[in-house]
Amino acid sequence: MNTKEEFYLKYKFAKQMLETEINILIEEFVFKHGYNPVEHVKSRIKSEESIMKKLEKKDYDKTLDNIVSHIHDAVGLRIVVSFLSDVYDIVSVIKKSKNLIVVDQKDYIKDPKETGYTSYHLNVLVPIYLEDKVSSLEAEIQIRTIAMDFWASLDHKIQYKFPNEIPLDVKEKMFENSLIIKELDKQMMHLNEVVNKYDNKK
Protein backbone atom coordinates (compact mmCIF):
# COMPACT_ATOMS: atom_id res chain seq x y z
CA MET A 1 0.00 0.00 0.00
CA ASN A 2 1.25 3.53 -0.76
CA THR A 3 0.63 6.77 1.13
CA LYS A 4 -2.57 7.45 3.05
CA GLU A 5 -3.57 10.08 0.45
CA GLU A 6 -3.15 7.59 -2.41
CA PHE A 7 -5.11 5.04 -0.40
CA TYR A 8 -8.13 7.34 0.06
CA LEU A 9 -7.86 8.47 -3.57
CA LYS A 10 -8.48 4.85 -4.61
CA TYR A 11 -11.64 4.82 -2.50
CA LYS A 12 -12.75 8.00 -4.26
CA PHE A 13 -12.19 6.35 -7.66
CA ALA A 14 -14.06 3.21 -6.55
CA LYS A 15 -17.03 5.34 -5.46
CA GLN A 16 -17.07 7.13 -8.83
CA MET A 17 -16.83 3.86 -10.77
CA LEU A 18 -19.61 2.31 -8.70
CA GLU A 19 -21.92 5.33 -9.13
CA THR A 20 -21.37 5.27 -12.90
CA GLU A 21 -21.97 1.53 -13.23
CA ILE A 22 -25.13 1.65 -11.09
CA ASN A 23 -26.53 4.63 -13.01
CA ILE A 24 -25.95 2.82 -16.31
CA LEU A 25 -27.59 -0.37 -15.02
CA ILE A 26 -30.63 1.60 -13.83
CA GLU A 27 -30.94 3.52 -17.11
CA GLU A 28 -30.73 0.26 -19.03
CA PHE A 29 -33.47 -1.22 -16.80
CA VAL A 30 -35.71 1.82 -17.40
CA PHE A 31 -35.13 1.55 -21.16
CA LYS A 32 -36.00 -2.17 -21.20
CA HIS A 33 -39.02 -2.04 -18.87
CA GLY A 34 -40.35 1.48 -19.40
CA TYR A 35 -40.50 1.86 -15.64
CA ASN A 36 -38.14 3.43 -13.13
CA PRO A 37 -38.22 1.56 -9.79
CA VAL A 38 -35.57 3.81 -8.23
CA GLU A 39 -36.53 6.66 -5.92
CA HIS A 40 -32.97 7.76 -5.26
CA VAL A 41 -29.33 6.65 -5.12
CA LYS A 42 -26.85 7.90 -2.56
CA SER A 43 -23.20 7.03 -2.13
CA ARG A 44 -20.55 7.91 0.38
CA ILE A 45 -17.05 7.16 1.53
CA LYS A 46 -17.02 6.27 5.22
CA SER A 47 -15.23 8.93 7.26
CA GLU A 48 -11.77 8.06 8.53
CA GLU A 49 -13.12 8.45 12.07
CA SER A 50 -15.92 5.89 11.48
CA ILE A 51 -13.49 3.50 9.76
CA MET A 52 -11.12 3.67 12.74
CA LYS A 53 -14.00 3.21 15.22
CA LYS A 54 -15.18 0.14 13.31
CA LEU A 55 -11.63 -1.36 13.29
CA GLU A 56 -11.42 -0.74 17.03
CA LYS A 57 -14.83 -2.38 17.60
CA LYS A 58 -13.71 -5.41 15.58
CA ASP A 59 -10.43 -5.53 17.55
CA TYR A 60 -8.10 -4.93 14.61
CA ASP A 61 -5.04 -2.67 14.48
CA LYS A 62 -5.67 0.62 12.71
CA THR A 63 -3.67 -0.12 9.56
CA LEU A 64 -4.46 0.56 5.91
CA ASP A 65 -4.21 -3.16 5.14
CA ASN A 66 -6.77 -3.93 7.85
CA ILE A 67 -9.15 -1.38 6.32
CA VAL A 68 -8.98 -3.22 3.00
CA SER A 69 -9.35 -6.66 4.62
CA HIS A 70 -11.96 -5.96 7.30
CA ILE A 71 -13.94 -2.84 6.48
CA HIS A 72 -16.28 -3.95 3.74
CA ASP A 73 -18.33 -0.77 3.54
CA ALA A 74 -15.67 1.97 3.32
CA VAL A 75 -17.34 2.71 -0.01
CA GLY A 76 -21.10 2.43 0.25
CA LEU A 77 -23.97 3.03 -2.12
CA ARG A 78 -27.66 2.90 -1.25
CA ILE A 79 -30.43 2.37 -3.78
CA VAL A 80 -33.91 3.25 -2.51
CA VAL A 81 -36.73 1.77 -4.56
CA SER A 82 -40.51 2.04 -4.47
CA PHE A 83 -41.72 -1.51 -3.92
CA LEU A 84 -40.54 -4.77 -2.38
CA SER A 85 -40.38 -6.56 -5.75
CA ASP A 86 -38.18 -3.72 -7.08
CA VAL A 87 -35.52 -4.62 -4.50
CA TYR A 88 -35.15 -8.09 -6.00
CA ASP A 89 -35.28 -6.76 -9.60
CA ILE A 90 -32.40 -4.39 -8.84
CA VAL A 91 -30.43 -7.13 -7.03
CA SER A 92 -30.76 -9.35 -10.07
CA VAL A 93 -29.64 -6.55 -12.42
CA ILE A 94 -26.52 -5.90 -10.30
CA LYS A 95 -25.68 -9.60 -10.14
CA LYS A 96 -25.66 -9.70 -13.94
CA SER A 97 -23.25 -6.76 -14.24
CA LYS A 98 -20.06 -7.61 -16.10
CA ASN A 99 -18.13 -4.92 -14.23
CA LEU A 100 -19.03 -5.73 -10.63
CA ILE A 101 -18.14 -9.02 -8.93
CA VAL A 102 -20.48 -9.99 -6.11
CA VAL A 103 -18.42 -11.36 -3.21
CA ASP A 104 -21.10 -11.47 -0.51
CA GLN A 105 -24.83 -10.97 -0.12
CA LYS A 106 -27.16 -10.65 2.87
CA ASP A 107 -30.91 -10.72 2.56
CA TYR A 108 -31.98 -8.89 5.71
CA ILE A 109 -35.49 -8.72 4.24
CA LYS A 110 -35.89 -12.47 4.46
CA ASP A 111 -33.87 -12.61 7.70
CA PRO A 112 -34.11 -9.22 9.45
CA LYS A 113 -31.51 -8.19 12.01
CA GLU A 114 -32.62 -8.47 15.64
CA THR A 115 -33.19 -4.70 15.75
CA GLY A 116 -35.80 -5.11 13.00
CA TYR A 117 -33.44 -3.70 10.32
CA THR A 118 -34.30 -4.80 6.80
CA SER A 119 -32.41 -4.24 3.53
CA TYR A 120 -30.65 -6.30 0.89
CA HIS A 121 -26.87 -6.00 1.04
CA LEU A 122 -24.57 -6.88 -1.84
CA ASN A 123 -20.81 -6.64 -1.45
CA VAL A 124 -19.08 -6.15 -4.76
CA LEU A 125 -15.57 -5.72 -6.12
CA VAL A 126 -15.33 -2.48 -8.07
CA PRO A 127 -12.57 -2.19 -10.71
CA ILE A 128 -10.31 0.85 -10.56
CA TYR A 129 -8.32 1.78 -13.64
CA LEU A 130 -5.10 3.55 -12.71
CA GLU A 131 -2.40 4.85 -15.05
CA ASP A 132 -0.20 1.78 -14.62
CA LYS A 133 -2.54 -0.99 -13.44
CA VAL A 134 -6.07 -2.21 -12.85
CA SER A 135 -7.03 -3.07 -9.29
CA SER A 136 -10.27 -3.42 -7.38
CA LEU A 137 -11.83 -2.42 -4.07
CA GLU A 138 -14.77 -3.85 -2.16
CA ALA A 139 -17.92 -1.76 -1.73
CA GLU A 140 -21.28 -2.37 -0.07
CA ILE A 141 -24.53 -1.76 -1.91
CA GLN A 142 -27.68 -1.50 0.22
CA ILE A 143 -30.98 -1.90 -1.60
CA ARG A 144 -34.20 -1.10 0.26
CA THR A 145 -37.70 0.32 -0.16
CA ILE A 146 -38.69 3.86 0.88
CA ALA A 147 -40.48 2.38 3.90
CA MET A 148 -37.38 0.42 4.98
CA ASP A 149 -35.29 3.56 4.45
CA PHE A 150 -37.70 5.59 6.63
CA TRP A 151 -37.25 3.03 9.43
CA ALA A 152 -33.45 2.83 9.05
CA SER A 153 -33.08 6.59 9.06
CA LEU A 154 -34.89 6.99 12.42
CA ASP A 155 -32.97 3.99 13.77
CA HIS A 156 -29.71 5.67 12.77
CA LYS A 157 -30.74 8.84 14.67
CA ILE A 158 -31.63 6.72 17.71
CA GLN A 159 -28.24 4.95 17.62
CA TYR A 160 -26.53 8.34 17.46
CA LYS A 161 -28.56 9.71 20.37
CA PHE A 162 -27.92 6.67 22.56
CA PRO A 163 -24.36 5.54 21.68
CA ASN A 164 -24.07 3.29 24.76
CA GLU A 165 -27.44 1.63 25.28
CA ILE A 166 -30.76 2.27 23.55
CA PRO A 167 -33.63 2.37 26.11
CA LEU A 168 -35.62 -0.87 26.05
CA ASP A 169 -38.98 0.81 25.32
CA VAL A 170 -37.44 2.58 22.28
CA LYS A 171 -35.89 -0.70 21.07
CA GLU A 172 -39.20 -2.55 21.44
CA LYS A 173 -41.17 0.19 19.69
CA MET A 174 -38.68 0.20 16.80
CA PHE A 175 -39.00 -3.56 16.45
CA GLU A 176 -42.82 -3.25 16.45
CA ASN A 177 -42.56 -0.52 13.81
CA SER A 178 -40.37 -2.77 11.65
CA LEU A 179 -43.26 -5.26 11.52
CA ILE A 180 -45.65 -2.47 10.48
CA ILE A 181 -43.17 -1.43 7.77
CA LYS A 182 -42.98 -5.04 6.55
CA GLU A 183 -46.77 -5.28 6.31
CA LEU A 184 -47.05 -1.85 4.68
CA ASP A 185 -44.46 -2.83 2.03
CA LYS A 186 -46.48 -5.95 1.20
CA GLN A 187 -49.77 -4.03 1.02
CA MET A 188 -48.31 -1.28 -1.17
CA MET A 189 -46.75 -3.81 -3.55
CA HIS A 190 -50.08 -5.63 -3.94
CA LEU A 191 -51.96 -2.38 -4.43
CA ASN A 192 -49.44 -1.36 -7.09
CA GLU A 193 -50.05 -4.66 -8.91
CA VAL A 194 -53.81 -3.98 -8.84
CA VAL A 195 -53.26 -0.45 -10.16
CA ASN A 196 -51.02 -1.80 -12.97
CA LYS A 197 -53.76 -4.22 -14.03
CA TYR A 198 -56.18 -1.28 -14.36
CA ASP A 199 -53.63 0.39 -16.65
CA ASN A 200 -53.42 -2.73 -18.83
CA LYS A 201 -57.22 -2.82 -19.34
CA LYS A 202 -57.29 0.68 -20.85
**Rule CB under 6 A: which residues touch ligand 0O2?**
46, 54, 72-73, 106, 113, 115, 117, 121, 152, 155-156
The distance of closest approach from Cβ of residue 147 to ligand 0O2 in the complex, given in angstroms and rounded to an integer, is 13
* Of residues 82 and 178, the one with the C-beta less far from ligand 0O2: 178
The distance of closest approach from Cβ of residue 155 to ligand 0O2 in the complex, given in angstroms and rounded to an integer, is 4
Q: d(Cα 54, Cα 172) in Å, to the nearest integer? A: 26
The distance of closest approach from Cβ of residue 173 to ligand 0O2 in the complex, given in angstroms and rounded to an integer, is 14
CB 128 within 8 A of CB 13: yes
The distance of closest approach from Cβ of residue 198 to ligand 0O2 in the complex, given in angstroms and rounded to an integer, is 36
With vertex at residue 44, the alpha carbon angle to CA 41 and CA 50, rounded to the nearest 5 degrees, is 140
Q: d(Cα 160, Cα 22) in Å, to the nearest integer? A: 29
* Of residues 9 and 106, the one with the C-beta less far from ligand 0O2: 106
* Of residues 73 and 86, the one with the C-beta less far from ligand 0O2: 73
Q: d(Cα 33, Cα 96) in Å, to the nearest integer? A: 16
Could you tell me which residues come within 8 angstroms of residue 28 by beta carbon, excluding any fewer than 6 positions away? 93
The distance of closest approach from Cβ of residue 121 to ligand 0O2 in the complex, given in angstroms and rounded to an integer, is 5
The distance of closest approach from Cβ of residue 73 to ligand 0O2 in the complex, given in angstroms and rounded to an integer, is 5
Could you tell me which residues come within 8 angstroms of residue 154 by beta carbon, excluding any fewer than 6 positions away? 174
* Of residues 155 and 185, the one with the C-beta less far from ligand 0O2: 155
**DSSP string spanning 4-57?**
HHHHHHHHHHHHHHHHHHHHHHHHHHHHHHS---EEEEEEEEPPHHHHHHHHHH
* Of residues 33 and 40, the one with the C-beta less far from ligand 0O2: 40
Q: d(Cα 91, Cα 143) in Å, to the nearest integer? A: 8
With vertex at residue 123, the alpha carbon angle to CA 174 and CA 96, rounded to the nearest 5 degrees, is 115
* Of residues 52 and 188, the one with the C-beta less far from ligand 0O2: 52
